[in-house]
């Protein structure tokens, strides 16, 4: 289900009024199509690799979809986690082609590969 790809970003943490540390995870799937609270998700902490992987249950059922976030952990793993997109809004997903062909091309890659046109040519 998961692989050892590079992290998309680092987990955001907050503290409650009682001082309890809480991990804040993205509330939307990596593809941006689903609310994890609505469709379901699995989150697994890999203490050896120092990451948490969050998989969208809906996207995991679709072949060839990069269905999980990988976020680096920092410090001790908290006992609590919550889903909230606001503090995770800065994260730009590192999309991987799950068929093993590496990263999907970005729009910048496509722009760089585009051949310049001569005026009057299609």
**How do residues 29-40 score in pLDDT, each as one tens digit?**
998 889 999 999
Q: Give domain limits for the chain.
A: 9-113
Cα–Cα distance measured from residue 50 to residue 110, given in angstroms and rounded to the nearest whole number: 33
What is the value of pTM for the model shown? Answer: 0.74
Give pLDDT, residue 108: 47
The residue-averaged pLDDT of 16-28 equals 95
DSSP 8-state assignment for residue 77: P
**Which region among 48-52, 53-57, 68-72, 111-115 has the lowest average model confidence (pLDDT)?**
111-115
Q: Give the chain's mean pLDDT.
A: 81
The residue-averaged pLDDT of 52-57 equals 94
């Amino acid at each position: 289900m998961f692989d050892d790809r590079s992290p998309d970003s680092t987990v955001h943490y907050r503290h409650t009024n009682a001082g309890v540390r809480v991990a804040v995870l993205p509330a939307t799937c990596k593809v941006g199509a689903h609310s994890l609270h609505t469709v379901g998700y699995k989150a697994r902490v890999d203490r050896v690799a120092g990451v948490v992987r969050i998989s969208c249950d809906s996207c995991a059922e679709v072949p060839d979809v990069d269905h999980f976030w990988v976020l680096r952990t920092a410090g001790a793993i908290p006992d609590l986690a919550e889903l909230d997109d606001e503090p995770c809004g800065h994260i730009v997903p590192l999309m991987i082609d799950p068929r093993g062909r590496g990263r999907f091309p970005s729009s910048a890659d496509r722009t760089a590969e585009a051949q310049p046109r001569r005026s009057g040519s299609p």
